[in-house]
Amino acid sequence: MVSGERAFQYVLTHAIPGDPESILETFDLWCSKVEFISNIGPKKGKIMDRILSEHCPLTVLELGSHCGYSTVRIARALPLGARLYSVEMDAINAAIAEKIIRLAGFDDDTLIVSPSDEVIPRLRADYGLERLDFVFMDHWKKCYRPDLQALEGSGLLGKGSVVLADNVLFPGAPNFLRHVRKSGLYEWKIHRATLEYSKGIRDGMAELVYQGIK
């Protein structure tokens, strides 16, 4: 049994179905006490919660559903009528994420099982998207820069669109940060924190606000 499936079985037997907070807390308990899984976790999660509440996005793209933790965390914070599109290339993880998302009571969110570099160019044609208000990146770090550039080229980022990228300091995404600095397209900052479910490893999330070409 893969680690995500073990975590799901634990959540299934210990969390309250239809209660996103209970599901997140049970997931956190498993990951901190039993088996590490690379979710955003509660500390960095609270930073994301705050950013979501500040911006109230209506169209959200998540790159890297993994086992569904961050998907549930985002979905519970969105305003009524918002749409969440979550992309996961690993079919096993996606199957677990689907179960976690449904267990939390979110039936309307779209889970796309495909590599991000294939999905991004098709978002407009396949899903009718005109603009992305919020993008969360937590997939392969080497994909951060090319996927950000693909989003820039797609025309789906508008003035004020927010991109939040996890793990930019550990394991790190130096090419992504270099592009952000040099492009001049963003107001940006790093939210410093520790790696999820650990105390000593320093990490951070990059928050970018798209300004467009000046």
Known catalytic residues are 138, 141, 166-167, 196
Question: Could you write out the DSSP letters of every residue in the chain?
Answer: --HHHHHHHHHHHHSPTT-HHHHHHHHHHHHHHT------HHHHHHHHHHHHHHH--SEEEEE--TTSHHHHHHHTTSPTT-EEEEE---HHHHHHHHHHHHHTT--S-EEE-S-HHHHGGGHHHHH----EEEEEE-S-GGGHHHHHHHHHHHT-EEEEEEEEES-IIIII-HHHHHHHHHH--EEEEEEEEE-TT-SS-EEEEEEEEE----
